[in-house]
Structure 1
Amino acid sequence: MKIKNRLSLYFALITAVILFVALFIIYFAFNSIVRTDFDNRLLDRAKVAAQLYLKADEISSDSLSNVRKRYLRQLTGEVMRFYDNRNAPKFINDNNQHWNDKIINLVRKRHELIFTEGDHQSAGIYYKDNQGDFVILVSAIDIQGNKRLDDLIEIMAVFMITSLALLFFVGRWFAQKSLKPLDDMVQQMQQVRASNLSMRINEGNGKDEISRLAQNFNRLLMHLENAFELQQSFVTNASHELRTPVTSIIGEVEVALHKDRSVQEYDLLLRSVLADAERLKETITGLLELAQVDMNYTQAILSPVAIDELIWEVNDYWTKRIGKGMFTVNILGLPEDPEKLSIPANKALLTIALNNIIGNAYKFSNNKPVQCDLYIDNAKITITITDQGIGIPTAEAQKVFESFYRAGNVASHHGNGIGLYVTHKIISLFNGSITIDAAQPQGTAVKVEFKR
């Protein structure tokens, strides 16, 4: 069953329950009013009958007969009895007891009693007169009241059936209108293929659940697009980057084996092979990092990462590796709320990103000191890593984030152009930004920023 039909059905059922309860209350209230009205009529009838019969000696028989015909018209199934203090019937030529002593005594005790016997409604009063003390009981069937109740049930049934049918179609129209953005989204999703992962669906006004669904689907598409880009980059460039040093090593070894060489020549050959092997190692390391980012990009487990603690861990790592005083951390500002020190991220990936930046800083500055400035406030977290290296040409400051791209002034340094590309992907994964302030040849400042 489609969601719109299911919603319409649920809407109609819920409304039916509410409507049924409301109609039941109305029927119960109307039934109570009708019965109370008829009970009061019976009481009044008993009181009038007492006046007529017990005061009959004060008026003529003709007048009594006229009053009886005028005010005591026969009711459906009517029974009227007068009982004296011995519970014996009086005045009416019918010796049938009709009501037992228990009922008669209860009326005498309470002076006024209303009760129901089957389909009859009954009322009784205790009346004192100069002729004696009497119990007067009247019983009848409220034909008109029952007919009104039956008519009310029919009207309610027709109203409920008509209302439910109307509510179902109105609910279906409302559900169809409400879910139209979802239908449009499904149509747009159906157009997504592996060849057009750059496509994004309309996110609407960004305030309702459907917009949030669209945003999350677009985020998924972005992750898939990046994963495909990483895979394509690996296939396109990895073979070339791996083939070049391997081909160089094989060629140099083949030349060396062609004839005997001197010790100096073998030394030069081994150094050249070592350089190619180191280049191959760097490429493989970069590709492994790239593969790790590719694997975690769409399934990274996010948890709160304290940036200040991470910076000090990175500081300990590079101090041990490069030497004391070679990596300086400056805390420029910290918020009072300790929760503002953390961001949702994957600590392992974030460590790779920072180490790539710091590694490049040392590589292109011949191991000169590197400075890390940390500034955190309620709005953002900013990490700035500054080196004293050769810098990056301004025109190439953004291109270095492309896969396997190397700036024109780093030809004399080993590298594969993967590090900053991986770093950019990791920072973007955690909704951060990375920019480069290149000031060749004074050095380079890489700024990483995470906004709240």
Structure 2
Amino acid sequence: MHNYNRKLIYLIAILVIYVSCFVGFIFYSVTNFAFTDFYKRLDLRRNIAAEKFLNSKSASQADQWSLDFIENLNNQHEFLVEFDSNGTILRGQGFHQELWDKINKKGSSNFKSGNQFYSTKYFSQNGRKYIVGASAENYFYTHHLAYLRNLLIISLILGILFIFVVSVFMKRSFLKPILTMMKEVQEIGSENLYKRLDEDKYKGELHGLSLTFNRMLTRLETSFETQKNFISNASHELNTPLTSIIGQADLALSKERTTAEYQRTLFKIIESAEHLEKKTKALLLLARTGFVNNATAFSPVRIDQIVMDAELTVKAINDKFKIITDFSLLPDDSMRLKVNGNAILLQLALSNIISNACKYSSDRTAYIALGALDNKVFILI
């Protein structure tokens, strides 16, 4: 969960950086365009001012053309500066001397001082050097760009808040089913392995995860039941032959006996040990239920043979169990009794069912009927 939160924080940070860069790029592009366009307009007015200041014959015509076709910019001023080869100002008209260091004395220059934008150009006439310039206040920069800047800042803040809110909402939406699944899993313990996750509640990958988890619970439940049944059966079924062996050995050692009596006692011990061996093998066979590999390949097996093997296994566990098998419904063609399956798993399943039938029957008797219909085989217990 901590790793997921860290990745989410990284994603939010990337989105915030991207939005911030996008907003900054928009503001920079608009500002750059506003400056470039305004300097072009100032250049035009600077050239008109040069015609007015330096060409007196056409000055009135230039003034009239400027008035007729070109609007005056906000707080527009034109100025003329004459200077010598040392850069000393000889005379100036409408010029502020503190701007002299910002001006290019050998070409054109554009610069900004405060809210005022300047466009200047060097001219030479009759051996004299002049700087002609025009200045104006960029109304778009001082008003519209300020409004655009504030609008973008507000949009950025709202965008970040929107990203944060959506991220939190998406996080809760994504994590809610996972947290619900975790809560359900935590409620399942060894005492209630029969519980399962509600697969229909989850969608997509979580549905597959819940299905996989339920299958794992089924295998765990089978293993627990197998262990419990083995312990229960072992404690009951192995106790009798062990007690018989110990009792016969104690009886034989209680006093001196003849060779024939010792032999009879040993034969009885061997008989009890063989009976114990059969029960142990049967119990171990049943205990394999939870450990047989589910990936074992299926093959054709005879159901009647499986039923008889299961019957022998149950009787080996408890010789007091009675099993009556009815084969009257068997088909004439024995091939119809073949099914595609795993012999070990089928025998284990039938052994458990028959054993439970005998265990919970009033007279410890189980009845089995076996038959076949068309392409199906049925077993009644």
- TM-score (normalised: structure 1): 0.55
Q: Is the 8 A contact 2:120 2:131 kept in 1?
A: yes
Q: Is the 8 A contact 2:289 2:345 kept in 1?
A: no
Q: Which residue of the partner structure matches residue 194 of structure 2?
A: 198
**What is the number of equivalent residue pairs in this alignment?**
327
Q: Which residue of the partner structure matches residue 345 of structure 1?
A: none
Q: Which residue of the partner structure matches residue 52 of structure 1?
A: 52
Displacement of 1:292 in angstroms is 9.3
Change in 2 beyond 3 A, CA 1:150/1:58: closer
Q: How does 1:233-252 map to 2 (within 5 A)?
A: 233-252=229-248
Q: Distance in 2 between matches of 1:18 and 1:197?
A: 50
Q: Which residue of the partner structure matches residue 18 of structure 1?
A: 18
Decide which moves more: 48-57 or 259-268.
259-268
Q: Tell whether 2:100 aligns with 1:99.
A: yes
Change in 2 beyond 3 A, CA 1:90/1:392: same
Q: Distance in 1 between matches of 2:311 and 2:159?
A: 65
Q: Tell whether 2:271 aligns with 1:267.
A: no
Q: Is the 8 A contact 1:203 1:211 kept in 2?
A: yes
Q: Distance in 1 between matches of 2:32 and 2:234?
A: 88
Change in 2 beyond 3 A, CA 1:92/1:13: same
Q: Tell whether 2:273 aligns with 1:277.
A: yes
Q: Distance in 1 between matches of 2:240 and 2:169?
A: 65
**What is the letter of the counterpart of residue 100 of structure 2?**
W
Q: Tell whether 2:293 aligns with 1:393.
A: no
Displacement of 1:237 in angstroms is 1.1
1:80 is paired with a residue of what secondary structure? strand
Q: Tell whether 2:139 aligns with 1:151.
A: no
Q: Is the 8 A contact 1:400 1:407 kept in 2?
A: no
Displacement of 1:171 in angstroms is 3.6
Q: Which residue of the partner structure matches residue 39 of structure 1?
A: 39
Displacement of 1:229 in angstroms is 1.1
Displacement of 1:243 in angstroms is 0.7
Displacement of 1:239 in angstroms is 0.8
Change in 2 beyond 3 A, CA 1:269/1:119: farther
**What is the letter of the counterpart of residue 198 of structure 2?**
N
Q: Distance in 2 between matches of 1:150 and 1:213?
A: 55
Q: Residue by residue, what CA displacement relative to the aligned partner does 1:142-190 show, whole Å, maximum 9, x if unpaired?
A: 3540333322222122222223333433343343334443344245335
Bigger radius of gyration among the two: 2
**What is the letter of the counterpart of residue 80 of structure 1?**
F
Q: Distance in 1 between matches of 2:96 and 2:216?
A: 94
Q: Is the 8 A contact 1:89 1:95 kept in 2?
A: no
1:123 is paired with a residue of what secondary structure? strand
Q: Is the 8 A contact 1:4 1:176 kept in 2?
A: no
Q: Is the 8 A contact 1:83 1:135 kept in 2?
A: yes
Displacement of 1:27 in angstroms is 1.0
Q: Distance in 2 between matches of 1:55 and 1:45?
A: 15
Q: Is the 8 A contact 2:80 2:132 kept in 1?
A: yes
Displacement of 1:267 in angstroms is 2.3
Change in 2 beyond 3 A, CA 1:399/1:287: closer
Q: Which residue of the partner structure matches residue 80 of structure 1?
A: 79
Q: Distance in 1 between matches of 2:205 and 2:255?
A: 75
Q: Which residue of the partner structure matches residue 253 of structure 1?
A: 249
**What is the letter of the counterpart of residue 156 of structure 1?**
L
Q: Distance in 1 between matches of 2:10 and 2:37?
A: 40
Q: Tell whether 2:108 aligns with 1:136.
A: no
Change in 2 beyond 3 A, CA 1:124/1:291: farther
Change in 2 beyond 3 A, CA 1:96/1:3: closer
Listed as ranges, the gaps of 5+ residues in structure 2 are 325-342, 350-369, 372-381
- TM-score (normalised: structure 2): 0.63
Q: Is the 8 A contact 1:11 1:171 kept in 2?
A: no
Q: Is the 8 A contact 1:120 1:139 kept in 2?
A: yes
